[in-house]
Amino acid sequence: MSKKLQHNKEKISKYLASLGFASRRNIKDFFKSNKITLNNKAVSHDSLVENSDVINIDGEDFVVDLNPETEVLIYHKPTGQVCSNIPTDKNDSVFSALPPRKKGKWIMVGRLDVNTSGLLVFSNNGDFVNLLAHPSSKIDREYLCRVYGDITDKKLENVTRGVNINGEKSGFSDVVAVKKTSKSKNHWFYVCLFTGKNREVRKIWGTQKLTVNRLMRLRFGPIIMPENLKPGGWKKFSKKEVSKLQNLLKIQ
């Protein structure tokens, strides 16, 4: 297990991004659109912060803690919810179902499209989230999917060997059929892949003229959605569970 890096000072832009106020890519826009001070003085996105500094964002104070304890929460996303902080006219946000935080915000690891249900992972630690989501971490995702169409051995071979999607090779690392005796053209499969690109599972099957009409994520690396966690339900990891997860992933 690697040692946790202790920060004494940090750029305020990185700190606020790690708390989930904005992505690192959009943090400069966050500074432009909000009134932000540091210890009652004007501040730029390059300013440094240290422990116990006070950041004020639009009138609300936040005391700086550069080495917060990592928290992890899992959520069973129902179909119809959007993986966005802002709900739409038709769809509620996944964040509306999460317990509120006193400091910072829940940051989502990747996302699921509106018609996909299942496991979502959240943390308060932006660096931890980035490591979980980054392809270099080689963390696999497992889904249960119902596929409509004519299944052949050749099509199953194609989706495991890799197919071309928008000029990039993509495919499942594993495909396991759920054995069900039926004359229906709906077929259930467990599939695994190491990337989480937008609608990737649907697109992979789509290259074989097959349509995914049910899709649920069951696992993200070593994080498995409990069978008793109902849609719309969440579970916060204990300190022991977070420590075990960090040890398994060899990240802090």
How far, in Å, CA of 219 to CA of 221, rounded? 6
Catalytic option among 113, 150, 153, 174: 113
Q: With CA atoms as reference, report the closest residue to 212 among 121, 113, 120, 108.
A: 113
Strand partners, 190: 144, 176
Strand partners, 17: none
The two tokens of residue 250 are 């060899």
Q: With CA atoms as reference, report the closest residue to 99 among 239, 233, 245.
A: 233
Cβ pair 207, 158 in contact under 8 A: yes
Backbone angles phi, psi at 15, to 5 degrees: -65, -45
Residues whose CB is less than 8 angstroms from the CB of residue 236 and which lie 6 or more positions away in sequence, other chains included: 71, 72, 73, 99
Cβ pair 143, 216 in contact under 8 A: yes
Asked if 113 is an active-site residue, the reply is yes
Q: Could you give the residue numbers annotated as active site?
A: 113
